[in-house]
Amino acid sequence: MLDPRLFRTELDFVAQQLNRRAFNFNAELYSELEAQRKDVQVKTQELQNERNSRSKSIGQAKAKGEDTQPLMDQVQHLGDALKEAEAKLSDIQAQMTLMMEGIPNILDESVPEGKDEAANLEIYCWGELPEFGFTAQDHVDLGSQLKQINFEWGAKIASSRFVVLNGGLARLQRAIIQLMLDTHTDEHGYSETYVPFLVNADSLRGTGQLPKFEDDLFKVNSDPALYLIPTAEVPVTNIVRDAIIDVKDLPLKFVCHSPCFRSEAGAYGRDVRGMIRQHQFEKVEIVQIVAPEHSAKAHEELTGHAEVILKKLKLPYRKMLLCAGDTGFSASKTYDLEVWLPGQGAYREISSCSNFKDFQARRLQARWRNPETGKPELVHTLNGSGLAAGRTLIAVMENYQDAEGRIHIPEALLPYMGGLTVIEAL
C-alpha cells in the first residue's frame, strides 16, 4: 500500500507515476473522499469535545446539588450525533482503504517505459546455447518417451494442469530443490524456513494478493477462511507482520521450499501444453527484509543468488529488467531471469526477483527501529524464485537431452542422484 501522505500532498505526482503503469487512478474520487473524511473527522472531534465538556458540567452540577437532567438530555443528544458521525467516518475510511488496496506500487525511476513484455530491457545473456545434431524435443515429448511425466494421471487424480512425475524425473526434481536449498543456505547466508501452506486473508492482504488477485487463489471452505499459498513469499514475508525488528538483526534472509497453488484464472489459454503453467508446482523462494537504504543493493544481490543456480547447472539464460507495463502490482522494480528452452526455441521465465520497497511493509506493519531516531520505521521487502523447480526441471531436460531422448544429469546434481547419471525410459 502506498503512503497516504503522498495522496494528500503530492496527488499529481501519484497520478503521473500510476499513469506509467497505464493504471486508471480516479484522482477526482479520491479527492472527494478525502474532503469528506476531513469534514466528518472535524465534526466528530468537535462532538467529542462538546460531549466531554457537557459531561464535565454534569459532574459540577451534581456537586452543587443542581438538576442535571437538562444537561444529561443534551449529552444523550450529542452521543447519538457522535455515533452517527463516527459511523459515517468509518464508512468513508473503509471506502478509501478499499481504494488504496487496489492501487499498485510506484515504480522505481530506473524502470523503463513500455506497455508489455515486448518493452522489457535485456541486461545481459549468460552461457552458450546448446547445438544439437538432431531436432530438440520439448519436455512433454521427452517425458512421454521416458514414461516419467504423466498428465493423464494428474487429470484423473485432480484435473487438468496437474501432473505426476515418477522414476528418475521425480528424483531429478528433488535433486534440483536440494541443490537450491544447499546453495542458498551454505553459500548465500539464508536461513532455511518451513512454513504453513495454508494462510489467512490477512497474510495475503499483507503481501498484496488480496483483494486484487482473489480469483487466482484456491480458497478452502473453512472458518476462518484459508487459502492455499500461491508462493512461499506470502507466509515467509508475513513472519515479520506486526513486528519491530532490531537493526542488529537486519537483514533477515529466508529460503523456503514449498508447493505453490494457483488457479490461473487470468491465464486462460496460455501455456496449456506441458508443465510451464500448472495449478500446483514446486518452488524455492528467497526473501530478504532490509533497512530502506540497503534495498537497491539487496535487490541486485538476491537476483545474483538466483543466477548462481542457473550457472551451476550451466543453463543459458538472460536477465531482463521489466518495463512499467509488465511489472507486478506490488513490485517497484523486477528482474526476470529467463532460461533457454531448446524444445521451444525460446527464453522462458524461471525466476522473478522484485524489490517492493515499503509497499508490502506498510500493509504488514513490518518495521525496524532506526538507531538514529529511536523510532520504528517501515522495512523494505524483497523476494525472488531461487528457482522455480518445475521450470528448472524442464530446462535441464531440454538442455541435457540426447538423440535417443535420454536426459544426462548435470554435474552439479550428481551428488544428489544416488549414482544415476543418465535418465532412460522405464
Structural domains of the chain in order of their starting residue, each with its CATH number: 26-102 (1.10.287.40), 117-423 (3.30.930.10)
In the prediction, which pLDDT does 148 show? 98
In the prediction, which pLDDT does 151 show? 96
Annotated binding site for ATP: 262-264, 349-352
In the prediction, which pLDDT does 63 show? 63
What Cα–Cα distance (Å) separates residue 147 from each residue in 137, 164, 187, 275, 281?
15, 11, 36, 15, 19
Contact 284, 303 (CB under 8 A): no
In the prediction, which pLDDT does 79 show? 82
pLDDT in tens, the chain (426 residues): 999 999 999 999 999 999 999 999 999 999 999 999 999 999 999 988 887 776 777 666 666 666 667 666 676 777 888 899 999 999 999 999 999 999 999 999 999 999 999 999 999 999 999 999 999 999 999 999 999 999 999 999 999 999 999 999 999 999 999 999 999 999 999 999 999 999 999 999 999 999 999 999 999 999 999 999 999 999 999 999 999 999 999 999 999 999 999 998 655 556 778 999 999 999 999 999 999 999 999 999 999 999 999 999 999 999 999 999 999 999 999 999 999 999 999 999 999 999 999 999 999 999 999 999 999 999 999 999 999 999 999 999 999 999 999 999 999 999 999 999 999 998
Cell 449529552 -> residue: 75
Provide the 3-class DSSP secondary structure of residue 398.
helix
Measuring CA to CA, which residue among 284, 349, 281, 360 is closest to residue 320?
Answer: 349
Annotated binding site for L-serine: 231-233, 262, 285, 383, 385
Q: Rounded to whole angstroms, how far apart are CA atoms 249 and 344? A: 45
Q: What is the DSSP track for 266-309?
A: T-TTSS-STTSS-SEEEEEEEEEEE-GGGHHHHHHHHHHHHHHH
Could you tell me where the DSSP H helices lie in 21-122? 27-64, 69-101
In the prediction, which pLDDT does 81 show? 87
Q: Rounded to whole angstroms, how far apart are CA atoms 281 and 385? A: 12
Q: Report DSSP state, residue 48.
A: H
Pairing mode of beta strands 191-192, 252-261: parallel
Q: Residue 321 pairs with which residues in a beta bridge?
A: 121, 335
Q: pTM of the entire structure? A: 0.92
Cell 503481501 -> residue: 207
In the prediction, which pLDDT does 119 show? 98
Annotated binding site: 231-233, 262-264, 285, 349-352, 383, 385
Largest pairwise CA distance in the chain: 107
Cα 64–chain centre separation: 64
- For residue 387, whether the previous peptide bond is cis, meaning omega lies within 30 degrees of 0, is yes
Contact 385, 334 (CB under 8 A): no
- What is the helix (H) or strand (E) element at residue 335, kind and residue range? strand 333-341
Q: Rounded to whole angstroms, how far apart are CA atoms 137 and 139? A: 7
Cell 506497455 -> residue: 115
Pairing mode of beta strands 191-192, 244-245: unpaired
Measuring CA to CA, which residue among 217, 302, 330, 307 is closest to residue 266?
Answer: 217
Contact 384, 301 (CB under 8 A): no
What the block records as the C-alpha cell of 238 is: 508475513
Measuring CA to CA, which residue among 392, 194, 371 is closest to residue 293?
Answer: 371
